[in-house]
Amino acid sequence: MSDPQLEDAATREHYHHGDLPAALIRAGTEILERFGLEQFSLRTVARQVGVSASAPYRHFADRQALLRAIASAGYRHLAGELSERQLSAPKAARHLSRFATKNPGWWDVMVGERSEAEGGLEESRAELLAELVGAVERSQGIKDPEATIREAVAIWAIVVGAARLKTDGAIGLLEEWMVPSAQTITESLLKSRLPRPIVGRRP
């Protein structure tokens, strides 16, 4: 049986350092990878960190709020890596695909959570999109801004779709060489370039 006094002491220590939200996000990410979304709860995350079951509620209203924070952290992490490495668009697609393969639980939450007014998920997704736009510009040069954004969104969709096909086992019967990588698809996309919207048809 856990000791309430020890839990309170651990809680005070994390609050003193001001890192409890970050610790909860890290622990939540580990739980997602080890046990999946079914085993994810604020109580389980609190136990992993070593704080009382009520401590997470001081920072996250509920389970969904913590999941959104975990998703936001993932997008910020990827945006930071792309910014630091200054990759081309095909290599950026490969980097994102590797992240999705290495962290399937985290990735599923990232692409599955809906943006809300609070939580920073929409902003963190925008950070990643901005880095993908930069990757396209490094590959294609700075030309039509709208076309660049469309290509960045298309690359993002390629990565999400390719990862989903793998994790769902939809292409499990195929030989690996038969499945084009996100990097290869991105290279083909940039060679063909997406068509411009028809004049007068733009929403």
Mean pLDDT in residue range 1-23: 54
Three-class secondary structure assignment of the chain = CCCHHHHHHHHHHHHHHCCHHHHHHHHHHHHHHHHCHHHCCHHHHHHHHCCCCCHHHHCCCCHHHHHHHHHHHHHHHHHHHHHHHCCCHHHHHHHHHHHHHHCHHHHHHHHHCCCCCCCCHHHHHHHHHHHHHHHHHHHHCCCCHHHHHHHHHHHHHHHHHHHHHHHCCCCCCCCHHHCCCHHHHHHHHHHHCCCCCCCCCCC
Residue 177 CA to its chain's centroid (Å)? 27
The pLDDT > 70 percentage for the chain reads 83
State the pLDDT at residue 106.
96
pLDDT above 50 (res 10): no
On average, the pLDDT of the chain sits at 85
pLDDT range class, residue 48, cuts 50, 70, 90: very high
Over residues 132-144, the pLDDT tens digits come to: 999 999 999 888 8
- Confirm whether pTM is higher than 0.85: no
Domains in the chain (CATH in brackets) are 4-60 (1.10.10), 70-192 (1.10.357)
pLDDT above 70 (res 200): no
CA dihedral for 61, 100, 127, 199, sign (positive or negative): negative
pLDDT above 80 (res 21): yes
Identity of the residue numbered 77:
H
Over residues 78-122, the pLDDT tens digits come to: 999 999 999 999 999 999 999 999 999 999 999 998 866 566 899
Mean pLDDT in residue range 64-86: 96
pLDDT above 80 (res 169): no
The pLDDT > 90 percentage for the chain reads 65
State the pLDDT at residue 191.
87
